Structure formats: structure tokens, C-alpha cells
A and B are shown apart, each in its own frame.
Chain A
């Protein structure tokens, strides 16, 4: 079927398929939409170019920032005073936590988790930057919110171990039972951890 496509479309299809979440079928659908509506193609092209020239990694936390000053909107927000640093894996995790509107501290994007099988080592993560920030930015607590995969668990342990002598609190997100769900539908691993890390009720 590929042989039927003009070479430039075949190469676009190949490029699109390398994007996360895009398979052969959705690649073709995108191509079809681009060709049917040239203005759509134009606006996507423009946005991509804009992103390429002006979006940078925030030089402090690693979230997305527009180039001026090199800091992101969270790092420049004077209202975020809680002396807590929340360590996440990817910038998109920040968006997820922010949606909850429950956190008023700072973030640090690690850029991944330890994964020897995929060749991800300590030096590939923003760990040096993390140690530096913890030493100099006056936090009272570091929250590790990396997830519950074996790789995330191990990275959490690794960071906590490295910070063993740091005087502040080191915590991680509680493994929880989804709000509104019955206990019988919660998987037993989550349940056993929730039980092990149970919390006193403050009244």
C-alpha cells in the first residue's frame, strides 16, 4: 500500500507514525485532513515553528517555558509560597497535579526515571539540578510523585536514600483508593499499600 503514496506523503506518514499514539490508520487520517484543508496545515506548521523557536525547558524546574527570562509561569508566580518541592517525571505530570489545584509549592521535572534496560542512567535525569535546588532554595519538604511502576518506585527510593541526611521531610504521594469507588473494586496491591501507609484522621 505504501508504494501507492507519492514519496513525500509516504515520508510524512512515516514521520507521523513515529509520534506517540499515532498508528498507520490515524497517520493517514491526519494526512487526509491536511490535504483537504490547507489552512489547517498552515496553522499546524506555524504553531510547530513557534514552539521550535520559542519554547524552552524552564531553567529552574524543567517545565515548559516561553524563552523570555528562561523561567516558566509557575516559577515566576509569586503567590506559590509553600516551601515544598514536588518532583515529577514529565512536564505533563505538572499539568495533572495543577488540575487538582491542591498544591501551592514548586516543581522539579526529572525528565524520566532510572531504567537500566532502556539505558537510562543517573546522568540522564535532572538529579544534579535537584540536589542543587534542595540545597539552596530553602524547602522544608520534598514530595516524590514519580508514579508506581517498578522504575518509578526504585527512583523514588534512590532519591530518598540520597537525601537521607537532609533535615527536611521526604514524602511521596499516598497510593490511594479512587474517590467515589467501592473498596471491592480496588486492586489488592493498591489496597495493601493504602493500608500499610494509612493515615490518622484529624478531627
Chain B
């Protein structure tokens, strides 16, 4: 595959049968664009399309992303480095073609266009279950390291197989040993990558959060077992009977969590609405900085309807994020707010769709 080098910028985006758009073609300037229009004007569809192109996932289920009555959709982006087409068809799934060449496996595509996304529901990162933070970390690490993504896929498959085996009456030690061999080859690597990520992000989180308040932020990755094959095997030597009983694997990165603390208290359940907003903006700053530091190019920043309910300092901070982004795409219902926070961004006004 031809490599993408240099700054990745989206020059044009074309949608076909995506959400409510039969066809749409938009050209973008180098800074990016702010989509302004009433709710249900279809602003978010453009951000979702860019997210799908970059990370091969939209914001909802694939069926919902296909225009009513169609079997699939097609997205084309013209980048500064070439043209990519990402299409989806029912029963066939997603396909990526870069400069005329089909990309297989699809995992090879992830990370080519790094993305940082902030959406209204993202306070789940603070309040939601551990799975939300694991998915978040996996998305971030996969964009930086294709080894991480490949290892994660192997781990998840081996884990599902071991769990299936644990639930079967004839799960012999020899068989369990064999699945565990792959788990101890992949699991500790995932743990170590996540353990390394936490302090890196903690650093930038602290710096940026400093603009909002005095609380010191702690981001800590909590493991269920030490990240070494020996520790895993030792844990299993005690745990296996219990695992056979419950039919699932009780140690590993699929159960672990990132703990977020504001000062001495866990953010979850204690952070005020204002603190949560500040924390999320700081988190996006940290993600941008991380991706920028690891890649040869700056990420796309996608901000979906997040200006609402932000006070002036936080709105300004949101605007600051664009400094680390290669290109910024924003949606908002209020043009005045966009002009204030993102003065350089050209505005695309979208009318209410009939």
C-alpha cells in the first residue's frame, strides 16, 4: 500500500445514500469548516461520514446510516495525499479503496487519518461503565499502533474462544492451556500499552485542565493481573476452577479500567457538570497531543454540537483545540457561538431538510 505522508487534509467529501443524503458533495478549505443549521438539518451526518472514513465506524448502527430503501452507501474523500472511498453494503460490510487499491485487512486502514471526536454524550467517559473507557483507549491506541489493533483483535477472538470452551463440559486442561498460550502472548502487551498511555495523557490533562481549576487530575490504569505471562499463568492456576464454574475468563484487559480522579475524589459521581465539561475538553487536548506526537501528521478534530451550555472560558478553550488539529469540523445550531469560538472557520449554513 502506498503510504500517506505529510499533512492529511480533507479537500472534499462526497456522500451517496448516506443517512438522509442521496448525494452531497462538499469542498473544504485547509482550516476546516463549521456546519451551522437547526436540529435535524443533517449537520452531524458530515462529521459521521468523516469519522466512518477515518476509523471505519459511524456514530450509530450501519443499517441506520444507509439511506432509507437502499442497500448501502458510498463515501469518497479527496485528501491532500490521495482519494479514498469507503463503502458499505448490507451483507458485505465495509470496503476501503485507497487510490484504486482495495485495503485488506481493513485494520491496515485505521490510523491513516487520525481523528479526535467530541460529542454530547461523551460525559459517559467520566460517568459510564469501564467498557466506555476501554473502547476509548482502544480507539486511541489503535490509531497510533497497528500492532495494538492487530493484537487486540487476536486477543478478543482468543478470549471469546476460551470463554466458549469454559462453558463446555469437556474443556480439558490441555485445550485450556492452548487457548491461554495465545492470551498470554497478546493480553500483557495490551495491558502494557494502556499502562504507558495513562501517565502520558495524565500529563497533558493536568496542563490543560489548569486553565479551568486548581484540582489535580489523576489518570490511572488499574489491572486485574500483572502484565506478564508468568503472572497470568500463576493467576489461572488458582482461578481456573472458578472460571470453569462461571464460564468466563476473570483476568485480563477486557475487565480493566482507567480511573479518573479530580484531586482526592473519583471524578465519577463527584465531578460537577462544569468540572466534567472542563475535563472532557482537557481530555480532547490530551488526545490531540498524543496523536500529534505519535504520527507524522495532525489529527482531524470533530466537534459535534458541543458548544451548547458552555460558558465563555470553556468555549474559548474549545477554540484552542484547533491549534493542535490539522483540520477542524464543527457543528452547531448557533452561528454567533461558532464565530466567537472558531473565528477562522468558514461557515456552511444548512437549511432544515424536508
Bitwise interface map of B from 152 to 177 toward A, beta carbon under 8 Å scored 1, else 0: 00100110111011001010001101
B24 contacts the other chain (CB 8 A): no
Contact partner of A150 among B3, B157, B177, CB < 8 A? B157
Q: Is the Cβ of A161 less than 8 Å from the Cβ of B147?
A: no
Task: Flag if B1 contacts A185 (CB, 8 Å).
Answer: yes
Using known A-B contacts A114-B178, A116-B165, A158-B174, determine if residue A188 contacts B157 with beta carbons closer than 8 Å.
Answer: no
Interface members, chain B 14-43 (any A CB < 8 Å):
none
Contact of A161 with B158 in the complex, beta carbons under 8 Å: no
> Which residues of A (113-129) have their CB < 8 Å from a CB of B?
114-117, 121-122
Most B CB within 10 A of own CB, among A116, A117, A121 = A116
Q: Which chain B residue shows the least CB distance to A151?
A: B161
A15 to chain B, nearest CB (A): 19
A153-B175 contact, Cβ under 8 Å, with A116-B161, A116-B168, A189-B147:
no
> Does A29 belong to the interface (CB within 8 Å)?
no
Within 8 A of B (CB), among A97-120: 114-117
Shortest CB distance B47–A (Å): 29
Decide: A158 and B161 in contact? CB cutoff 8 A: no
Task: With both chains docked as a complex, state the minimum distance between the C-beta of A2 and any C-beta of chain B, in angstroms.
Answer: 16
Return chain A residues, CB-CB under 8 Å to B170: 121
A187 sits at the interface (CB 8 A): yes
Least CB separation from B157: chain A residue: A150
Are the C-beta atoms of A115 and B146 separated by less than 8 Å?
A: no
Q: Is the interface of B mostly helix, strand, loop or mixed?
A: helix
Complexed CA–CA distance, A157 and B157 (Å): 16
Residue of A nearest to B147 (CB): A188
Is B151 an interface residue, CB under 8 A from the partner? yes
Residue total for B at the interface (Cβ-Cβ under 8 A): 25
Complex Cα distance, B178 from A153, in Å, reads 9
A188 near B158: Cβ-Cβ < 8 Å: no
Tell me, yes or no, whether B182 is within 8 Å of chain A by CB. Answer: yes
* Interfacial residues of chain B within 63-104, with CB under 8 A of chain A in the complex: none
Q: Judging by beta carbons under 8 Å apart, are B164 and A116 in contact?
A: yes
- Contact of B181 with A by CB under 8 A: yes
Which of B146, B162, B181 interacts with A157 by CB under 8 Å? B181
Flag whether B212 is at the interface (Cβ < 8 A): no
- Point out the residue from A116, A151, A154 that lies within 8 Å of B181, measured CB to CB: A154
A184 within 8 A of B: yes
A155 and B179 alpha carbons, distance in the complex (Å): 9
> In the assembled complex, which residues on chain A have CB atoms less than 8 Å from the CB atom of B213?
none
Residues of chain B lying within 8 A (CB to CB) of residue A114: 161, 175, 178
The one of B150, B181, B182 in contact with A188, judged by C-beta atoms closer than 8 angstroms, is B150
* A116-B164, A154-B161, A189-B150 given; A122·B1 CB < 8 A: no
Within 8 A of B (CB), among A38-71: none
List residues of chain B with CB within 8 A of the CB of A36.
none
Contact: A115 with B3, CB < 8 Å?
Answer: no
Given contacts A121-B170, A184-B3, contact A157 B182 (CB under 8 A): yes
CA distance A99 to B345 in the complex (A): 59
Give 9 closest A-B pairs by Cβ, nearest first: A116-B164, A158-B178, A150-B157, A116-B165, A188-B147, A189-B150, A157-B181, A157-B178, A150-B158
18 sampled A-B residue pairs with Cβ under 8 A: A116-B161, A117-B161, A117-B164, A121-B170, A151-B161, A154-B158, A154-B161, A154-B178, A157-B177, A157-B178, A161-B178, A184-B3, A187-B108, A187-B146, A188-B150, A189-B147, A189-B150, A189-B151
Q: Which residues of A contact B (CB under 8 A)?
A: 114-117, 121-122, 149-151, 153-155, 157-158, 161-162, 184-185, 187-189, 192
